[in-house]
Amino acid sequence: MGVSETEAIVLRTYKLAEADKITVFLSQHSGVMRGVARGARRLKSKFGAALEPFTLVSLSYYEKEGQELVAIRDAEILRSYFELSKNTEAVVALEYIGGLILEFTPPHEPNEKVFRMLRACLDAIASAPEALRQITRYCEVWLLKLSGFLPDLRSCLNCKKVFSEQNEKAYLGIDGALRCGNCAHKADLPVSGAAVAQLLATQRLAPVEWSRASSAVSEMVSKELSQVTQRLITRALERLPRGRATVE
Ligand SMILES: [Zn+2]
């Protein structure tokens, strides 16, 4: 408790009273937090543009025992992704990604991997906005993995048979597990070997590299990847994720 400093990525802001802002941010070491920035909506606010969504900032805040909202004292821009705010598709995708992070990351639960992943994805979108769709997919796969909702991509849940062949299909069940052709259930979603390989590749490739590799796969495999993440996210949240239809 007391004053803390952290790197953070602003996810959302809301108006509060006449001149204040509530800011929802993903901090590097303490997970998702909410803070009040007094006077942030005044013309000559000391916060300037630092609290705009998807800005990487160095934050100083005051935290009081038992209070959910922290008081933001200072915010300095480390990297602004302002150029993306003119790209409507990027704004929609970032809102979607921000929403997913809020769904998958409980408040105040430290998760530095999510922070690093989001930061890498923001850098990737800024440097390769044309790969927006693939980078969004990459974020989905990583959020599923980091929250324990990505199934074992290497072998069948039932018989442990390894999915090694490129052209061998795996089957995604409504329980979110992958099975081989022998163990699959009737309503399972078939997933090609190429799609499984692409999902596995998220674990060794950075977002820009993965999106490059993904732009080389067929439209059918892209569609499969979309169906797989949609099924897994829907299962995790017990409903369709908000804004996904717009992103697709
Ligand atoms: Zn099996």
163 C-alpha to ligand 1 centroid (Å): 9
166 C-alpha to ligand 1 centroid (Å): 16
167 C-alpha to ligand 1 centroid (Å): 16
Measured between its terminal Cα atoms, the distance across the chain in Å is 42
pLDDT at 222: 93
178 C-alpha to ligand 1 centroid (Å): 9
Task: Look up residue 133 and give its two tokens.
Answer: 């769709």
- By CB atoms closer than 10 A (0-12, 13-18, 19+), residue 74 is middle
Question: Rounded CA gap, 24 and 13, in Å?
Answer: 6
157 C-alpha to ligand 1 centroid (Å): 6
Which residues have a beta carbon within 5 Å of ligand 1, which is an ion? 156, 158-159, 161, 180, 183
Q: Which residues contact 166 (CB under 8 A, 6 or more apart)?
A: 193, 194, 197
Ranges of the chain whose pLDDT falls below 70: 165-166
The SS3 of residue 160 is: coil
- By CB atoms closer than 10 A (0-12, 13-18, 19+), residue 83 is exposed
pLDDT at 65: 87
pLDDT at 215: 84
pLDDT at 43: 85
21 C-alpha to ligand 1 centroid (Å): 53
205 C-alpha to ligand 1 centroid (Å): 28
Question: Rounded CA gap, 190 and 106, in Å?
Answer: 32
